[in-house]
Chains A and B, each alone.
Chain A
Amino acid sequence: MASLAAELGPVALRSPVLLASGTFGAGREGERFVELSQLGGIIVKSMTATPWKGKPTPRMCETPSGMLNAIGIQNKGVDYFLAEDLPWLRRQGATVFASIAGNSVREFVKVADKLRTGGRGIAGVELNISCPNLEDQSNMFAHSAESTAAVTSAVVTAIPRVPVFAKLSPNVTSLVEIAEAALSAGAAGLSLINTVFGMAIDVEGRVPKLAGTIGGLSGPAIRPVAVRAVHEVHRAFPEAPIIGQGGIASASDALELVLAGATAVAVGTANFINPRAALEVTQGIEAYMERHGVASVGELVGAVKL
């Protein structure tokens, strides 16, 4: 019998398949489709120190094999998460990763402080330092090694007992350099990748298709970018646990990322099309392991033959 159990650094997962942040809320809307206890875990929608209203519409447009979004992290804030979502998630037996976002290091630390005092049972924190939809798009944390290090070490200091995973942007010249900055600053691991910067224009009206002009591209269109990113970073830091994400819609997509070096994977945009996508990916990985006589999913991590 193949074992799906995965060791994501210090976090033991019952399966390597997670739900990606911002694509499944805090799990409640999908309750009728997915038992969270059957998945590796859920990375909840990013939370901020105070509620964020989000951007005006249109927030979304479909693009070839993908979609662009500019939502602006609409969320009810960390207090709501701790009071309402976390107790519910714990009752479901879910492994919970709290994704946190903010416009400044101070805002990140504020959320981390609240998670430290009120977030009992959280398996990990994902730092959303790579969202293309912040107010200042030119100044994304994950675009600079120094900013990445600063925010990572501040959060690691604020919440020392919980492993921190830095979610990085593919929109950089040297991803390895940013990854190194996050790891040296104390990140337990990395999430690769966030959405790819993109833009689409309505040529008849000559206006951007998103109210936010620029948005994040997700879906199968970006999967090769994610595979490359995971491959590069895994080659540079073979010991660093990586949550691979970007365009996973099937088990074979997920396995590409695992073979490139991801310890776990997260299913994102596919949830919008099929609320059971993550479960189907899990079953598909299990079938693959049995077909190939793989006893433990860890054997596949970074096992691409070059």
Chain B
Amino acid sequence: MLTAVGEVLTHKKYGEHFHSLTIVAPQIGEQVAPGQFVNVASDTDRSFILRRPFSVYRVHKRGGWAATIEIVFDIRGPGTKHLSQARAHDTVGLLGPCGQGFKLPAQRSHCLLIGGGIGAAPLFFLADELRNEGHRVDVIMGARSIHRLLNAIDVRRLASVSRITTEDGSMGQEGVVTDVIDDMVERCSTDIVYACGPHPMLAAVAQMCNERTLPLQVAVEELMACGYGVCMTCVVPVRTGSTRSGSDERVYARVCTEGPVFDGATVCWFENEDRVTPEQAAPSTGGAPARTNTDAAQQAELAPPGN
């Protein structure tokens, strides 16, 4: 992890809602692994003082002299609004690569990647790496609507088998990602699941994987300030032993340091009863932030890796 000043190479718009920044960041680009994130300082002398964490969507290493990283986001508050106005040659402060990335399988495996909305961003980087290592990649991508799906065309390109779900039926199957998990797992002979997206979606996916004893790695979101382990704000409750060992000791682990990728079986998904209840989690597994009964726009701005 290091601090660096990155130069914006391009700013692109993906569809109606999503912005993309490709940033020249030679050292971070060389070091970053799928699932890790960067904490971005958009500017100084502004009233929104904190960095914004973004998981890395794509990396181009370019032989080590001018590696770039790409982040994608939608506008959720003043920080992302400001970043959405960045143009080529603007500079941004970067801290990264932060946190623990996804663990790649030791043996050739069939990997099912499940993403929700813009939270699916790190799965594209992961899919590239998995394919490079010779693993099979299948993908389920869900969102509220076609406008909230991240790069559905690339999903088809990356995956051996892919399924799209939207809550309004505007693309793919009408419904949520969990509707098609059983079908996909059977069809693809899935060995391991990787998931990334809003908390309720992850909770529902974790429950299904647990019941089917499928290994699951999740990249979780939580509101965050520092990104390097000192502020203690971005915690999630995790069991210190595995569920299978029956241990029930729980600690708050830092998403920025011990995470953002966790073993799905160790996360206590319903610890914060007032925040996410099982009732809320079950039906809203589509994509966009649904962790409370509002769309929690401002609140979610500082949460990686779904941005």
Interface residues of A (CB under 8 A from B): 22-25, 29-30, 32-33, 45, 53-54, 56-62, 64-67, 69, 71, 74, 202, 204-205, 207, 209, 211, 219-220, 249, 269, 271-276
Contacts and interface: CB of A to CB of B under 8 A. Distances in A.
Contact of A58 (B77, B95, B223, B295): B223
A54 B257 contact: no
Given A57-B222, A57-B223, A32 B2 contact: yes
Interface residues of B, number: 45
Interface string B286-307: 0000001111111101100000
Contacts of A23: 230-231
A69 B250 CA distance: 22
Which A-B residue pairs are the 4 nearest by beta carbons?
A60-B233, A205-B294, A29-B229, A272-B226
Contact of B230 (A53, A59, A69, A272): A272
Contacts of B247: none
A196 to B, nearest CB: 16
7 contacts: A56-B237, A57-B223, A61-B223, A64-B47, A66-B49, A204-B296, A271-B230
Nearest to A56: B272
Given A57-B275, A275-B228, A209 B299 contact: yes
Interface of B: 1-3, 41, 47-51, 77, 79, 95, 222-226, 228-237, 250-252, 257, 271-272, 274-275, 292-299, 301-302
Contact of A220 (B49, B226, B292): B49
Contacts of B274: 56, 211
B271 to A, nearest CB: 7
B150 to A, nearest CB: 24
A60 B231 contact: yes
A218 B50 CA distance: 12
B292 A207 contact: yes
Contacts of B296: 202, 204-205
A56 B250 CA distance: 12
Contacts of A71: 231-233
A146 to B, nearest CB: 31
A29 B223 contact: no
Contacts of A66: 49
A275 B3 contact: yes
Contacts of A53: 250-252
Contacts of B294: 202, 204-205
B298 A202 contact: yes
B293 A29 contact: no
B235 A54 contact: yes
A69 B50 CA distance: 13
Given A60-B223, A205-B293, 6 more contacts: A58-B299, A60-B224, A64-B47, A66-B49, A69-B233, A276-B3
A272 B232 contact: no
B236 to A, nearest CB: 7
A175 B71 CA distance: 47
A212 B301 CA distance: 19
Contacts of B79: 62
B235 A74 contact: yes
Nearest to A69: B233
Contacts of A211: 272, 274-275
B275 A56 contact: yes
Contact of A61 (B231, B232, B299): B299
B230 A67 contact: no
Contacts of B222: 57-58
Nearest to A51: B251
B47 A204 contact: no
Nearest to A64: B47
B230 A60 contact: no
A271 B296 CA distance: 27
